[in-house]
Amino acid sequence: MFVIAVVVSFVARPASHHARATTLLMSFSDPKAKPEVVEEVLAIDVPASPAGPARTVKARMFSPPGGTPKDRPAVVLVHGVQYLGIEEPRLQRFAKSVVSAGIVVLTPQVDELADYEVSARSIETVGASIRALRARTGGASKVGLMGTSFGGGVSLLTAADARFANDVAFVVAIGAHDDLARVSGFFANDAIEEVTGETKKLRAHGYGATVLVYTHAEDFFPVEDVPAARDALRFWLHEKREAARESAKALGPASRAKMDTLFGPDLSSLRPEILAMIERRRADMKTVSPHDRLGGLRARVYLLHGAGDTVIPATETMWLAKDVPPSSLAMVLVSPAIEHVELKEPSVADQWALVHFMSDVIGEAEAAR
């Protein structure tokens, strides 16, 4: 009877995890789903560091109803490069879907990512959020860390940072970057290097090149035009097209012509300038790239990527799989069921692979409690 009980416990627990993973993915794939959650708005203090002064950031904590956060496993969920930050509907839907699996979720506002910048300051925000969530969940257990898009790369860097490495039980990086310079070059060239050394041709989403020019506007426009150029590009990225065109009217003739190109479908004429900017900024980009910077990882790492991602190609996850220490790498899944960080129509096999992946993540979260 003892042996039977042990066998049942080992079989039932993974079955429970798979059931919860199925609930999570079904909830996320249905925009009309409304998981029952308890929501709380928090203010997180980020201490001063060499990366920047002390500040306070907004965060949301989502918890399952009943009990307290101290009774539950917990994760910090980091948004990607998106101006809505923690207000972005897909992020909130994903956070609530994770809660439906019985996990507390904290989403901090990462101001740099919300302004299209991948910055070392973001590591400080994520690290402070980890500490805040640990305090909320009793402080004794480690917490998990999930990051989407460029927030996935920031999450890995945070987990590898000696100040935070012992606070993080596991990391889930979804559609993350490994080398910011390599991804930036992809936006210009429609091609990216694979771990094999071969070059993969893939049409890059135009969004990426626009973000690069916005972030480094001083490299593309004369100093007197930079403020108006940033305004125009910010409006464009926020999908406020008329406001963008109105702001562009303040530009000089040459800058206006360049902005017209940025507003169009073909940015190939800007390729030489973008590549030159990447070379000038390569050292800075290295400091916010997980490539060769993950030796301090103590957490288990789960890597998930959409096979057809045209913002951050799936080749970046294969580079990450090479850079994560073997003792930390738990699972890698490149799935045709995902497009960047959004679910598509998966086949049965793809559904099962995603369920199995998230089931293992749920098991990791439970083990960290």
DSSP 162: T
Burial of 206 (0-12, 13-18, 19+ CB in 10 A): middle
Question: How would you classify the pairing of strands 143-148 and 168-174?
Answer: parallel
Q: Give the pLDDT of residue 33.
A: 83
Domain co-membership, 114 together with 130: yes
DSSP 93: H
Distance from the Cα of residue 80 to its chain's centroid = 4
Boundary (domain end) residue, out of 227, 254, 285: 285
Boundary (domain end) residue, out of 285, 315, 330: 285
Helix axes 226-237, 253-262, angle to 10 degrees: 20
Q: Is 361:300 a contact under the CB 8 Å cutoff?
A: no
Q: Give the pLDDT of residue 299.
A: 97
**Counts of helices then strands in the chain (DSSP H, E):** 13, 12
Domain co-membership, 357 together with 276: no
Domain co-membership, 205 together with 258: yes
Measure the CA–CA gap between 184 and 274, rounded to whole angstroms: 8
Give the domain extent around 270: 182-285
User: Phi and psi of 41, rounded to 5°?
Assistant: -95, 130
Domain co-membership, 76 together with 140: yes
Q: Give pLDDT < 50 ranges for the chain.
A: 1-12
Amino acid (one-letter) located at 233: L
Give tens-digit pLDDT for 15-31. Answer: 788 888 888 888 888 88
Boundary (domain end) residue, out of 235, 265, 285: 285
Task: Return the H-helix or E-strand segment holding 191.
Answer: strand 191-193
Domain co-membership, 190 together with 321: no
Structure tokens at 305: 């990527």
- The CA–CA distances, whole Å, from 230 to 80, 218, 253, 330, 350 equal 20, 9, 16, 41, 41
Q: Is 182:195 a contact under the CB 8 Å cutoff?
A: no
Q: Is 306:149 a contact under the CB 8 Å cutoff?
A: no
Domain co-membership, 245 together with 103: no
Measure the CA–CA gap between 142 and 365, rounded to whole angstroms: 9
Measure the CA–CA gap between 325 and 298, rounded to whole angstroms: 9
Give tens-digit pLDDT for 284-331. Answer: 999 999 999 999 999 999 999 999 999 999 999 999 999 999 999 999
pTM value? 0.92
Contacts for 356 with CB less than 8 Å, ≥ 6 apart: 18, 21
Domain co-membership, 82 together with 167: yes
Q: What is the CATH number of the domain that holds 350?
A: 3.40.50.1820
- Total domain count, the chain: 2
Strands (E), 8-153: 38-46, 55-63, 74-78, 104-108, 143-148
Q: Is 172:166 a contact under the CB 8 Å cutoff?
A: no
Distance from the Cα of residue 218 to its chain's centroid = 26
Domain co-membership, 298 together with 266: no
Q: Give the pLDDT of residue 277.
A: 98
Q: Give the pLDDT of residue 6.
A: 38
Nearest partner of 212 among 248, 237, 239, judged by Cα: 237
Domain co-membership, 137 together with 151: yes
Nearest partner of 232 among 198, 253, 254, 255, judged by Cα: 255
Domain co-membership, 280 together with 321: no
Domain co-membership, 156 together with 258: no
Domain co-membership, 56 together with 130: yes
Structure tokens at 343: 């679910």
